[in-house]
Structure 1
Amino acid sequence: MTRATLPIILTGDRPTGPLHLGHFVGSLRNRVAYQHDYRQFIMLADAQALTDNMEDTGKVHRNVLEVALDYLAVGIDPAISTILIQSQIPELAELTFYYLNLVTVARLERNPTVKEEIRLRGFERDIPAGFLTYPASQAADITAFKATLVPVGDDQVPMIEQTNEIVRKFNRLAQREILVEAKALVPALGRLPGIDGKAKMSKSLGNTINLGASADEIRAAVKQVYTDPLHLRVDDPGHLEGNVAFIYLDAFDPDQEGLAGLKERYVRGGVGDSLVKKRLEGVLQEMLAPVRARREAFAQDPGAVMQMLKDGTFKARDVAARTADEVRAALGLRYF
């Protein structure tokens, strides 16, 4: 198949801070692999990030470059993956406006992902309208590029389901297949907990290890990694469940056979947490050192990075514009 006929993947991140290990295990590693076998669009969802960052729009603006550097550092190749900036494609906002007529407020409020995000942010009933309508915005992002696959965490699956509801309703109204349904690609490992073990790894909770972290930052973070609070002495039997150090090793340690032996000894008793953390630090230092070096190299020429984003965005807008034109025609909004 030519790249034009390959299945299409859409993925992306809200540029509210540098990317971290949670992003890496959840999607970034897969994006690097996918780009060789799929036609991939990677979106910097800056417009969506404003729905709960309107008091600090500068943070979103600054982090567009930071996240782009992280993409390049992990191996995303802009020659084969299209990296785009959401706010610079007005057709996405236009499609969102149309799709809002295909959903009710009650349905938006029932979306489990939206409900959980509202709870985490403490909005209660004081919800920014843009935040509440995120499912329609995400549907626009996905359908604009006629993506058939969307890599997401399991908590985001309801968003894909609601996108497909909108697709089916629109196609029924249009009486022909214009929009395309998408399938969620959920990583087998799922989301990483934060280093504190209390929640998912999140910039807002301050429990992350960033992809561009220095050697000293990695060392300091690993010292704080949650293990087994009942494992007070080296000879005490240890527990693996909820043990963040072992969860990270499961995700990143290339020597899984050696890790299995370490687990057996830890559970039996005789292995201290310091030894486990020493192994974890070694794994993360080795994995992140080349990522950090590539990131620093790309950061030497921010103008080139922004030109890459501009080129990708222009390319993506051509695709989105064609879809928006089809949608307008189906709605009887083509006059000239």
Structure 2
Amino acid sequence: MTSDRAEASTKNQQQRPPKTVMSGMRPTGRLHLGHYMGVLKNWVSLQPQYDCYFMVADWHALTTKYDDTAYLQENVYEMTLDWLASGVDPNVSTLYVQSAIPEIAELHLLLSMVTPNKWVETDPTLKDMVAMLHEDLTYGLLGYPILQTSDILAVLGDLVPVGKDQVAHLEISRDIARRFNHLFETDLFPQPKPLLTETPMLLGLDGRKMGKSYNNAIFLADTEDETWQKLRTAITDPARIKKDDPGDPAKCEVVYPYYQTFASNGAIELAAKECREAARGCVDCKKILNEFVIEELKPLRERRTEYAKDRAQVEKILREGCEKSRAVAQNTLKQIRAAMRLYQSPALV
């Protein structure tokens, strides 16, 4: 009997559908090394184990850039290219665009009816944005945490990949899911859990936070020459004024972490040793680093070039992903409307 139970338990585990992972990015500009190492490589690693939904969050882009939409559609396309080039597989994962799923907007409205205002006001994501925008704060931005929750719950997301510093941002989504389930006596919504990921801390080439607006990032779409021209400007240990001045890798806050991310263990150790002994100049150090960065990005850039040759195929991937995601969201909304006892129009059933 014990053997039979164990066999049945194993069979049940094998038959369980994989957990759903949901994540997304705002299409506010080109993607850079930080996005690749911190997000995209992780997405790719999750694909074999989970049912992954990756969303281009164009509505979220409007919360802070509502007056700058000239390049929004092109940004959606370019971002999708970067995802595909990074190894996100449309045959395994679902790629879709937020604004193509109107059910997310309806869910946002319904969840806003049951979410206490104080929950939104204390959300860390919103507090950071409010501090940044001041008088430009909009109603849409105030609802950012609820819209983010709607993104996750529309596809019944179980897991959301985040870094340790982002765990608190997900707590409001868990609170809203719990509150809805309690109010309407249902177990429809999962309580999305953070899927903790280790991400390398890469600063911009000038030592500031890596960002598109600072012009201090290496973009995934850059050529090899553009990559080197940028990398050669990266700041190093300020004590190394002359080539024969010894340095301290710990004070080389840009180049050395890049070595730790892209180079082999032997190359990392040698770079640190020769830096301390002033046996290698900073320019030579960057040249060697450049080779490692180019090697890492070469397959990505080759795939990007191939996908870019057939825009219609990329658009087809997005269209099919939107259709699949919308079907899931429609089913979710049908259950939500029933739980809330909303009027069931024949057109909505």
- Shorter-normalised TM-score: what interval? over 0.9
Is it true that 1:293 corresponds to 2:312 in the alignment? no
1:214-256 alpha-carbon deviations (Å, 9 max, x no partner): 0111011101212212222333232424611111222222x12
Preserved contact between residue 26 and residue 152 of structure 1 (Cα < 8 Å): no
Structure 2 segments unaligned to the other structure (5+ residues): 1-12
3-state SS of paired residue (1:95): helix
Find the counterpart in structure 1 of residue 59 from structure 2: 47
The residue that corresponds to 2:338 in the other structure is 329
User: Is the alpha carbon distance of 1:270 and 1:107 closer, same or farther for their aligned partners in structure 2, counting shifts above 3 Å?
Assistant: same
- The answer (yes or no) to whether the contact 2:51–2:93 under 8 Å persists in 1 is yes
Shift of 1:285: 1.2
What aligned pairs does 1:126-137 form with structure 2 within 5 A after superposition? 126-137=136-147
1:158-237 equivalent positions in 2, closer than 5 A: 158-199=168-209, 201-233=210-242, 234-237=244-247
2:113 equivalent among 82, 101, 108:
101
Q: Which moved more, 1:147-156 or 1:263-272?
A: 263-272
> Where in structure 1 are there 5+ consecutive unaligned residues?
none
Query: Which deviates the most, 276-285 or 38-47?
Result: 276-285
Question: Equivalents in 2 of 1:321, 1:3: separation in Å?
Answer: 25
Q: Which amino acid is 2:26 matched to?
A: R
CA contact (8 A) 1:192 1:248 kept: yes
RMSD over equivalenced CA pairs, Å: 1.9
Q: What SS is found at the alignment partner of 1:240?
A: helix
What amino acid is the match of 2:197? P
User: Cα distance 1:146–1:242, how it changes in 2: closer, same or farther (>3 A)?
Assistant: farther
The structure-2 alpha-carbon separation of the partners of 1:310 and 1:103, relative to structure 1 and needing over 3 Å to count, comes to: same
Other-structure match for 2:8:
none
- Does 2:124 match 1:112? yes
Q: Distance in 1 between matches of 2:309 and 2:16?
A: 33
Larger mean Cα displacement after TM superposition, 51-60 or 131-140? 51-60
In the comparison of the two structures, how many residue pairs are matched? 332
The two structures have a TM-score, normalised by structure 2, of: 0.89
Task: Classify 1:80/1:107 alpha carbon distance in 2 versus 1 (closer, same or farther; 3 Å).
Answer: same
Whole-angstrom CA distance in 1 between matches of 2:16 and 2:99: 25
Bigger mean CA offset, 237-246 vs 276-285: 237-246
Give identity over the alignment, percent. Answer: 35
The alignment's TM-score, normalised by the length of structure 1, stands at 0.93
What residue in structure 2 maps to residue 31 of structure 1?
43
Per the alignment, do residues 190 and 117 of structure 1 end up closer, same or farther by CA in structure 2, a change over 3 Å counting?
Answer: farther
State which of 153, 173, 196 in structure 2 corresponds to 1:143: 153
Q: Which residue in the other structure is 2:34 paired with?
A: 22
Distance 2:15 2:23 in 1: 17
Spell out, residue by residue over 1:40-94, the C-alpha distance to the aligned partner (whole angstroms, 9 max, x if none). Answer: 0010001111112222212211111101111111111101110011000011011
Q: Distance in 2 between matches of 1:212 and 1:180?
A: 37
1:246 paired to 2:256? yes
Change (3 A) 1:155 1:214: same
1:273 correspondence with 2:282: yes
> Which amino acid in 2 is paired with 1:272?
G
The ranges of structure 1 where at least 4 consecutive aligned residues each deviate by more than 4 angstroms after the TM superposition are 1-4
Relative to 1, partners in 2 of residues 1:139 and 1:329: Cα closer, same or farther, differing over 3 Å? same
Deviation at 1:112, TM superposition (A): 1.9
